[in-house]
Structure 1
Amino acid sequence: MADRKRFEGRVALVTGGRTGIGRAAARRLLSEGAEVITVQRSEDSEFECIQADFSQPGAAEMVINEVIQRTGRLDILINNAGMMTESGIESMSVSDWEKNISVNLTTPFLLIRAALPHLRKTGGCIVNTGSIEGISPNPMHAAYSATKAGLHGLTRSVAVDHGHEGIRCNAVAPGWIDTELNVNMIDNLPNADTFKDDIKKIHPIRRTGTPEEAAALICFLASDDASFITGQVYTVDGGRMTQLSMP
């Protein structure tokens, strides 16, 4: 982990910061000097946090206002919280479709909208966690793929509309990352060892990624090292999207 203090004096808000990529990003930001606040439904025992249910009206505005009340500023917004429903289009209920849209796309939009006046003051930045499935979907992931593609589009729109105000907006598109959720899913498969071997083969570097590797890219994009980068969606996937499948 880097020893540089790229974020000293800055305040970062990380949604979904209690686990996985969000937790790794929060730890990296903290290690480099940021004051970090995470937000999710449950308590965070490691970081200062705000408990919020984004399905409730006004939750996004409440969270941003709470950050400002506590710290007086906001420099970095990491929209990382997300969900996935596995279902074909014909079998997916409208309520499940709308829930995916709400969590993966509408909530980032509402948080960005509420954060913009404060990011304008600090010359702040936004990093959204998209997905390679926003580029090419896996089977039975119509809602997830659609919302992540939408988030990529929102990322570019925010960059275009607010770049002149000194606000940058980028996204990362992770591939297979060994989050707790993915690791537990594999371990519970009857053919876990075979699955692990097979999934390594679809990556040119012959392994899956770690949350810390995705977080490194998030934090780079949030830092002044990326001061001339905006409106971009960066894959972090071990080359998976580059390698053609076998015939």
Structure 2
Amino acid sequence: MRNQIKRFENKTALVTGGRSGIGRAIARRLHEEGATVITAQRGEDKEFDWISADFSDPSTPERIVEEVISRTGRLDVLVNNAGMMMEAGIEEMSLEDWQRNLTVNLTAPFLLIRAALPYLRKTKGNIVNTGSTEGLAANPKHAAYCVSKAGLHGLTRSVAVDHGHEGIRCNAVAPGWIDTDLNLDLIESSPDTEAFRRDIGRIHPVGRTGSPEEVAALVAFLAADEAGFITGQVYTVDGGRMTKLSLP
């Protein structure tokens, strides 16, 4: 049974954006498997120990890592999950909004990794970044989001190459359509929810959308010692959507 697996006993995991959606599922999965979990985000986390965080502030990442060490004395797993997305065409997006997207989605993970490396070096720990299928392809009016996630995929490979010899691994997951509260609200707000669900299911070879828990299962595997020979990879979690060609 899953709740008997304790791959993260005596380990500390920091999950950014861990209060909801995919981040919440990741935090719960790591906790179920024995980890001491700390989440970091704007809002209060009523389930786990948490740190208030504004990732648009470049001073935030180092403060968070130091707080984790102060509370637990170690860091074994860093999950860079916090992110944002703004819909705007290139001509409509201000430079300020463009920079904010890059700061939250790409610069903050870079700064978190940089601050965490001395502690991950001690524990032979590892990093899992939450990228996106939009780091591999694009939806309309998502330029800043696509660029930031593609950059995060590149950062994943670079960290793996530069720090593999120190026993530090770095991988990423690239979720597609996942049934987070945000996406479920989008479905429910559509004029015909049944048609929306049917149509969104049809673009996936598995015939349905994904769950946060399915992403969390992969994150837990990548963060575990059994994945010790896996690093620098970006794993697509999309029910085959990116593989399926559109109809002629």
The alignment's TM-score, normalised by the length of structure 1, stands at 0.98
State the one-letter code of the partner of 2:70: Q
SS at 1:171's partner residue?
strand
SS at 1:22's partner residue?
helix
- Are the equivalent residues in 1 in contact too, given 2:174–2:235 (CA < 8 A)? yes
> Could you say if the C-alpha distance between residues 205 and 2 of structure 1 is closer, same or farther in structure 2, counting changes exceeding 3 Å?
farther
Partner Cα distance (1:3, 1:207) in 2: 29
Give the match for residue 88 of structure 2.
87
Task: Give the deviation of 1:189 after TM superposition.
Answer: 1.2
Quick check: 1:235 aligned with 2:236?
yes
Give the match for residue 192 of structure 2.
191
Give the match for residue 30 of structure 1.
31
SS at 1:239's partner residue?
coil
Q: Percent identity?
A: 69
SS at 1:194's partner residue?
helix
- Are the equivalent residues in 1 in contact too, given 2:169–2:230 (CA < 8 A)? yes
Task: Give the deviation of 1:235 after TM superposition.
Answer: 0.2
- Are the equivalent residues in 1 in contact too, given 2:77–2:126 (CA < 8 A)? yes
Task: Give the deviation of 1:55 after TM superposition.
Answer: 2.1
Task: Give the deviation of 1:228 after TM superposition.
Answer: 0.3
Task: Give the deviation of 1:73 after TM superposition.
Answer: 0.3
> Could you say if the C-alpha distance between residues 57 and 239 of structure 1 is closer, same or farther in structure 2, counting changes exceeding 3 Å?
closer
| Alpha-carbon displacement from aligned partner over 1:83-129 (angstroms, at most 9, x marks no partner) | 11111111111111111101100000000000000000000000000
Give the match for residue 178 of structure 1.
179
State the one-letter code of the partner of 2:130: T
Partner Cα distance (1:2, 1:238) in 2: 25
Query: CA-atom RMSD, angstroms?
Result: 0.8
- Greater than 4 Å deviation, 4+ residue runs: none
Unaligned runs of 5+ in 2: none
Q: How does 1:1-247 map to 2 (within 5 A)?
A: 1-247=2-248
Aligned length: 247
Task: Give the deviation of 1:191 after TM superposition.
Answer: 2.3
Partner Cα distance (1:171, 1:57) in 2: 22
State the one-letter code of the partner of 1:104: N
Partner Cα distance (1:152, 1:230) in 2: 12
Partner Cα distance (2:220, 2:118) in 1: 22
Partner Cα distance (2:27, 2:58) in 1: 26
| Alpha-carbon displacement from aligned partner over 1:130-179 (angstroms, at most 9, x marks no partner) | 00010011111111101000000000000000000000000000000000
Partner Cα distance (2:156, 2:202) in 1: 31
Task: Give the deviation of 1:231 after TM superposition.
Answer: 0.1
- Are the equivalent residues in 1 in contact too, given 2:75–2:123 (CA < 8 A)? yes
State the one-letter code of the partner of 2:103: S
State the one-letter code of the partner of 2:218: L
State the one-letter code of the partner of 2:177: W
- Are the equivalent residues in 1 in contact too, given 2:58–2:108 (CA < 8 A)? no
Unaligned runs of 5+ in 1: none
The alignment's TM-score, normalised by the length of structure 2, stands at 0.98
State the one-letter code of the partner of 2:86: T
State the one-letter code of the partner of 1:229: I
Partner Cα distance (2:148, 2:140) in 1: 15
